[in-house]
């Protein structure tokens, strides 16, 4: 894990320098789905703070376990094991999971319909800051994939921005496997820039995974979601 994380950090730095962006512009979300709490803690010990999960059922107990491990007396000795973690829900959002997601996560990346957005806002517990939200866009218009069509984004953004307990941050996409990811990344950025030209202030482009995060950084990603390049291959994927 530590070697994978260091290598990814080095490649991120290289991609940022290559296009003249500054390091603070790109956040690495380490995607820990299918990996245990101790793998998350090992990454925390290397300085990683943002983590991504795709399945509420797996993530909620894992988050509690990570918190318990980090609160243990052994962890108190290690300065690296401090500071708040930031949890990103990056999977498809089922309506029977919105309550758990809104209570345990800081970000959701996969908003793709009004009903889900409303539930997340209504169920966000009092006392927590608004849940950061990205709208998932189906750039390649695949019937099977989550996300709204590019021409539906503005309408959904209007709805999400009026929900009191959500904070609309930007757009997310997962390019079609086998297609050229660069053109999807360009289209997502173009869409975000067009919305901002119409008066929105969307600061986030969540795009890029293990196979293409350098391209995504070149094309303007502000959040990359990287799993297997850090933690190794997943032996199962639900
Ligand atoms: C699993 C997952 C990732 C990470 O994928 P890797 O190829 O392992 O980096 C990123 N984004 C989403 C939405 C995912 O489900």
DSSP for 156-177, please give it. Answer: HHHHHHT-TTEEEEEEE--PPT
Determine contact, residues 56/97, Cβ cutoff 8 Å.
yes
Q: Which residues pair with 8 in a beta bridge?
A: none
Question: Which residues make Cβ contacts (< 8 Å) with residue 167, sequence separation at least 6?
Answer: 129, 130, 131, 132, 133
- Domain coverage including residue 198: 2-17+26-208+218-231
∠ CA 66-72-77, rounded to 5°? 115
CB atoms within 10 A of CB 176: 16
Is 102 a member of any domain? yes
Q: Where are the alpha helices (DSSP H) in 54-180?
A: 56-71, 73-76, 98-104, 114-123, 153-161
- The structure tokens listed for 181 are 């990811």
Query: How many of the other CB atoms lie within 10 Å of CB of 157?
Result: 21
Which residues have any ligand 1 atom within 6 Å of their CB? Answer: 31, 33, 54, 90-91, 174, 209-211, 225-229
Ligand 1 mean position, distance from CA 73 (Å):
33
Which H helix or E strand runs over 5? helix 2-18
Low-confidence ranges of the chain (pLDDT < 50): 238
The answer to the question of residue 236 being in a domain is no
Looking at the domain assignment, is residue 34 inside a domain?
Answer: yes
Residue 188 belongs to some domain of the structure: yes
Residue 72 has a pLDDT of 86
Q: What is the DSSP letter of 105?
A: -
Q: What integer pLDDT is reported at residue 238 of this predicted model?
A: 47
Distance (Å) from CA 169 to ligand 1 centroid? 20
pTM of the model: 0.96
DSSP 8-state code for residue 223: E
Q: What's the confidence (pLDDT) of residue 75?
A: 80
Question: What SS3 class is residue 6?
Answer: helix
* Residue 3 · residue 200 · CB < 8 Å: no
Give the number of domains in the chain. 1
Whose CA is closest to atom 10 on ligand 1?
Answer: 225
Is residue 213 situated within a structural domain? no
Provide the pLDDT for residue 144: 62
Ligand 1 centre distance from Cα of residue 38 (Å): 19
- In this structure, is residue 106 part of a structural domain? yes
pLDDT at 2: 87
**78 within a domain of the structure (yes/no):** yes
| Ligand 1 centroid – CA 105 distance (Å) | 17
CATH number at residue 200: 3.20.20.10
127 vs 88: CA distance, rounded Å: 19
151-154 long-range contacts, Cβ below 8 Å, gap at least 24? 153/191, 153/195, 154/195, 154/198
Domain-embedded: residue 226: yes
């Amino acid at each position: 894990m530590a070697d994978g994380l260091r290598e990814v950090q080095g490649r991120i730095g290289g991609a940022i320098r290559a296009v003249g962006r500054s390091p603070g512009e790109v956040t690495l979300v380490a995607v820990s789905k299918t990996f245990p709490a101790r793998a998350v803690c090992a990454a925390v010990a290397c300085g990683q703070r943002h983590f991504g999960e795709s399945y509420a059922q797996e993530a909620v107990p894992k988050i509690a376990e990570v918190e318990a491990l980090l609160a243990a007396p052994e962890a108190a000795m290690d300065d690296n094991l401090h500071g708040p973690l930031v949890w990103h829900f990056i999977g498809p959002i089922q309506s029977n999971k919105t309550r758990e997601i809104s209570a345990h996560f800081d970000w959701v990346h996969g908003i793709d319909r009004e009903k889900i957005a409303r539930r997340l806002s209504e169920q966000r517990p009092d006392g927590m800051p608004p849940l950061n939200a990205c709208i998932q866009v189906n750039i390649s218009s695949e019937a099977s994939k989550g996300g709204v069509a590019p021409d539906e984004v503005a309408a959904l953004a209007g709805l999400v921005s009026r929900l009191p307990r959500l904070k609309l941050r930007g757009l997310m996409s997962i390019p079609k496997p086998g297609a050229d990811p660069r053109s999807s990344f360009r289209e997502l950025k173009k869409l975000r820039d067009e919305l901002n030209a119409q008066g929105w202030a969307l600061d986030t482009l969540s795009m890029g995974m293990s196979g293409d995060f350098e391209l995504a950084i070149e094309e303007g990603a502000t959040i990359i979601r990287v799993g297997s390049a850090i933690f190794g291959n997943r032996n199962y994927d639900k």
